Chains A and B, each alone.
Chain A
């Protein structure tokens, strides 16, 4: 029996859910859509009614937040701590300065005037009081959870879809992949590419966990700008890697590692290997490096 798939646009990218039981596809999709709607309302940087916008508008003051945004911020802070700040949720202002001040689909431009380098304030300035469900950031600091919230949404959506459908589920949010339930006998077939919309790459199969790919080749604007900010400079990262894919126990962990690898640069492969994470790194010239248990490419 073949699996079944549904795709649609969500969170400014493409959403997809794949199930091992085609009869359960509708239930799985409904569960995924509900999770995505909730995460968008909690974490969007472009919706005036989102909880995150309220937090960003109330810099310097405590803001009560719901459990989902609280979880998303906690996940982002964990990512920052595990990467020594390479994946930092306080890059919101730097993204705005770089021109990413609206939904990407509306079109972005590099700032006309020269923008002074701004060092990101740093994740340690974010105060999260989970006991009282509130958060406070210094005035002027804008949180952006784009790096981890999408991966969190994939993990949550996969679990919810598996619970609703009762079969094996794969959720794909713009290349962030989360699995739940039993995989097909041959595993889930996944192509690893620069762009989640397709293109040449490596074909692999997954049986469990999550997979994320970070790339500087997509979501670009102007001549040099892209969405992965180096917190040290406050500017789009200048990395020897154009695309990094990482497999991990969860999509969140995979995303944290792949984003950190892009920012980390030359020693990213060693950093990933030290953590036992299978990874595939593509240099700006197209050279490929496989880390750990990542399978070597099979010549076509």
Chain B
């Protein structure tokens, strides 16, 4: 089935309407995108761009952290000579050999000095 041939002027008018409608849709989409972006940007609390720039400037103005070790001449001398190591009042003595007649079962075992 075929219709009557379309009038060229009417056809051109229809094409212009379609073209204008497309432009309007594009402009509307761009506007909606911008509006939604603003809404999304304010939906959550995030970093403040101005504050971030401030921090960056402060950080940049500080010198790199350094580890300083006091030189030997800065270490105060210990006043006076320390007391020397002192010998005991009585040195250790050999333990007496246990006598067979003396009951040993009641005595707790001796202390042990060894590495720990």
Contacts and interface: CB of A to CB of B under 8 A. Distances in A.
B69 to A, nearest CB: 4
Contacts of B61: none
Interface stretch (A29-37, A63-71, A111-119, A273-281): A273-281
Interface of B is mostly: loop
Given A125-B70, A275-B84, A243 B89 contact: no
B88 A249 contact: yes
Contacts of B114: 175, 192-199, 201, 213, 215, 218, 243
Contacts of A298: 94, 97
Interface in B72-89: 72, 75-76, 78, 82-89
Nearest to A121: B69
B58 interface: no
B67 A139 contact: yes
A295 B70 contact: no
Interface stretch (A41-49, A94-102, A181-189, A231-239): A181-189
Size band of the B side of the interface?
20 to 34
A168 interface: no
Contacts, number: 180
Given A77-B78, A124-B75, A211-B92, A191 B112 contact: yes
Given A208-B88, A292-B91, A139 B111 contact: no
Contacts of B91: 247, 278, 292-295
B94 to A, nearest CB: 4
B2 interface: no
B68 A139 contact: yes
Contacts of B6: none
Contacts of A139: 67-69
Given A4-B108, A186-B96, A298-B97, A195 B115 contact: yes
